[in-house]
């Protein structure tokens, strides 16, 4: 039975199959373990619903002001001093997306604080102290993805983000600034940047702060150590000398310096000054269906590609806007991933299916590939890259099923390549014909993973001959025997064994420890070189995941619980 819930704007939002005892009138804007139990997180926002951010557009610059409504969080805590919880970051993610799609004329974005002498105090401590473990981890993951999206906009979309730190930037607040390509700090003798999580809270800066200090800003290791254990942080000239910020300016010259730097960055952008953006309307429910088997703890995603004429030009794509299926499908898939992550933590296996024609998928890819510099077609491709990466780090077993009538071709073939296991039915259907999959240009460079390798390169890491052979077969509709020979699928059962083999695979996965399976999958997925992104989602996240469960942080006498009470935390002093 499909479960719908009233969203923030009163619209219907498809969530999932609900358990029979699910609350039908639960608020949709409070995550489990924070304000109430068994409530649902809704990720869809629009500018009319923002409570925490103000956005102004003055081409070629947009200004994003963080002015958090202290009473507007998900729980019974106050978001003081521009501290944030998931509600704040969901809005920020929407802003990042809308600036990319709705404002091609914006070439630089200034991020600043809306409170006097406060940029951002970071993640709300009361929220972290009271949240369930799964919510804390998913919250950190989502904020990391949002911040990576900011960096992606700067690097690939010609929309450079700059942080104008107008006051204190502590913890997650400074981490937010670190995602920007340039940081200007106000020099007023009190404003500082800091990462006080280790000395104050017994946890780590969970949204990439440690990694970005040394990997992105190239702060010397010993200086990074001093900075990250110094509660009061650093300000002024010393912050510049250590590489923590790019420049400082007195209050009288601060706004002028920020504007000057933003215009300079805008000059280097290739975004069109005179183009009209598209409007991102409500996320539909036409292309992605979800069916949940609660006994087996499996969710089946079915992605449907509609038939029809392909737009003849980028201008026709702009005219279609968010209704063109590659963008509409991507938005639905992205939203579904987030909903299931937060609202269905016990559904541990996601099965990926497609329906449609190879021809339609490859024709859309061909149009995107023919205009790599067109701002909207580029944004659609980059959105698919981010959504596929979101699947990569979703801590779920991913199983792809290639059967007659499926369309694992080009962009959608990435779903088969990213799966932990891919099964292809070796059978000719009387109506749909044989199951086939087809590689294309999209699979050889459009969608790098967090390790900066394509999924083909990751699949055949250390086997260059196999990679080249797979590349030689791009453009060919591969049947089961050929896909297996090339190493593109895990197994090819026939129609007699298919149902039983898939059932056994899913039952076996359901019987394993979720913790062990998550660790195993994460170690296998990201082969080869380590990058800033793999460190954030691997090394940093793994450590934080462990620390969040330790009594030193989350126990009744841990630092998170004791913070603000006047009592010092009691630590288990054994180092392991």
What 3-state class would DSSP assign to 17?
A: strand
- Six token digits for residue 276: 């009209």
In 408-451, where does DSSP find H-type helix? 413-418
The residues annotated as belonging to the active site are: 123, 172, 175, 197
Q: Where are the alpha helices (DSSP H) in 45-124?
A: 86-102
So what's the pLDDT on residue 576?
A: 85
User: What is the H or E stretch that residue 438 is in?
Assistant: strand 437-438
Among 210, 190, 198, 192, smallest CA distance to 144 is for 210
Residues 35, 412: Cα–Cα separation, whole Å: 38
Q: Are strands 53-58 and 108-113 parallel, antiparallel or unpaired?
A: unpaired
* Residue 201 · residue 228 · CB < 8 Å: no
Q: What is the DSSP letter of 47?
A: G
Ordered structural domains, the chain, with CATH: 43-267 (3.90.226.10), 288-522 (3.90.226.10)
**Rounded Cα–Cα distance for residues 150 and 161 (Å):** 7
* Phi and psi angles of residue 392, each rounded to the nearest 5 degrees, phi first: -55, -35
Residue in 193, 158, 160 with CA at minimum distance from that of residue 174:
193
CA-nearest of 462, 15, 508 to 297 is 508
E strand map for 11-90:
12-17, 53-58, 61-66, 83-84
Tens of pLDDT along the chain (576 residues) come to 233 232 322 222 333 333 333 333 333 334 433 333 346 899 999 999 999 999 999 999 999 999 999 999 998 999 999 999 999 999 999 999 999 999 999 999 999 999 999 999 999 999 999 999 999 999 999 999 999 999 999 999 999 999 999 999 999 999 999 999 999 999 999 999 999 999 999 999 999 999 999 999 999 999 999 999 999 999 999 999 999 999 999 999 999 999 999 999 999 999 999 999 999 999 988 999 999 999 999 999 999 999 889 999 999 999 999 999 999 999 999 999 999 999 999 999 999 999 999 999 999 999 999 999 999 999 999 999 999 999 999 999 999 999 999 999 999 999 999 999 999 999 998 888 999 999 999 999 999 999 999 999 999 999 999 999 999 999 999 999 999 999 999 999 999 999 999 999 999 999 999 999 999 999 999 999 999 999 999 888 888 989 999 999 999 999 999 998 999 999 999 998
One DSSP character per residue, 439-464 reads --GGGGTTS--TTSS-HHHHHTTT-H
pLDDT of residue 30: 41
Distance of alpha carbon 428 from alpha carbon 192, whole angstroms: 66
> What local confidence, expressed as pLDDT, does residue 303 receive?
98
For residue 307, what pLDDT is reported? 87
């Amino acid at each position: 039975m499909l479960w719908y819930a009233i969203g923030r704007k009163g619209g219907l939002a498809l969530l999932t199959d609900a358990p029979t005892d699910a609350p039908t009138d639960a608020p949709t804007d409070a995550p489990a373990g924070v304000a109430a139990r068994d409530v649902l997180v809704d990720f869809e926002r629009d500018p009319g619903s923002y409570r925490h951010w103000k956005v102004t557009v003055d081409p070629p610059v947009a200004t994003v002001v963080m002015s958090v409504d202290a009473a507007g969080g998900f729980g019974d805590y106050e978001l003081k001093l521009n501290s944030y919880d998931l509600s704040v970051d969901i809005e920020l993610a929407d802003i990042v997306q809308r600036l990319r799609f709705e404002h091609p004329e914006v070439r630089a974005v200034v991020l600043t604080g809306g409170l006097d002498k406060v940029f951002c105090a970071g993640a709300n401590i009361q929220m972290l102290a009271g949240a369930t473990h799964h919510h804390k981890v998913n919250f950190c993951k989502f904020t990391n993805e949002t911040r990576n999206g900011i960096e992606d906009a700067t690097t690939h979309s010609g929309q450079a983000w700059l942080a104008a730190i107008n006051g204190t930037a502590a913890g997650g607040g400074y981490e937010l600034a670190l995602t920007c390509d340039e940081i200007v700090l106000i020099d007023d003798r009190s404003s500082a940047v800091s990462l006080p999580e280790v000395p104050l809270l017994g946890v780590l800066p969970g949204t990439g702060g440690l990694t970005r200090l040394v990997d992105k800003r190239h702060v010397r290791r010993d200086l990074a150590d001093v900075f990250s254990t110094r509660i009061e942080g650093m300000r002024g000239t010393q912050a510049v000398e250590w590489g923590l910020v790019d420049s400082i300016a007195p209050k009288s010259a601060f706004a002028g310096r920020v504007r000057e730097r933003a215009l300079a960055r805008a000059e280097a952008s290739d975004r069109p000054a005179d183009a009209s953006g598209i409007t991102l309307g409500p996320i539909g429910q036409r292309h992605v269906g979800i069916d949940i088997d609660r006994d087996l703890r499996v969710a089946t995603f079915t992605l449907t590609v509609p038939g029809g004429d392909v737009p003849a030009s980028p201008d026709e794509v702009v005219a279609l806007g968010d209704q063109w299926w590659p963008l509409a499908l991507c938005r639905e898939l992205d939203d579904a991933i987030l909903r299931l992550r937060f609202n269905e933590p016990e559904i541990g296996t996601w099965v990926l299916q497609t329906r449609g024609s190879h021809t339609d998928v490859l024709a859309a890819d061909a149009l995107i590939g023919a205009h790599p510099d067109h701002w909207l077609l580029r944004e659609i491709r980059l959105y698919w890259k981010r959504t596929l990466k979101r699947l990569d780090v979703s801590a779920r077993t991913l199983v792809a099923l290639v059967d007659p009538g499926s369309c694992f071709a080009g962009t959608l073939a990435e779903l088969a390549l990213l799966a932990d296991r891919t099964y292809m039915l070796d059978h000719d259907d009387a109506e749909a014909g044989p199951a086939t999959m087809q590689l294309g240009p999209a699979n050889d460079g459009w969608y790098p993973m967090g390790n900066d390798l394509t999924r083909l390169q990751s699949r055949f890491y250390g086997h260059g001959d196999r990679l080249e052979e797979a590349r030689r077969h791009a453009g060919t509709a591969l049947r089961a025997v050929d896909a297996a020979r090339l190493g593109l699928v895990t197994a090819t059962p026939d129609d007699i064994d298919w149902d039983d083999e898939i059932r056994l695979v899913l039952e076996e996965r359901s019987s394993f420890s979720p913790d062990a399976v998550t660790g195993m999958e994460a170690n296998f997925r990201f082969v080869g070189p380590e990058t800033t992104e793999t460190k954030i989602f691997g090394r940093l996240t793994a450590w934080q995941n462990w620390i969040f469960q330790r009594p030193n942080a989350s126990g009744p006498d841990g630092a998170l619980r004791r913070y603000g009470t006047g009592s010092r935390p009691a630590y288990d002093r054994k180092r392991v």
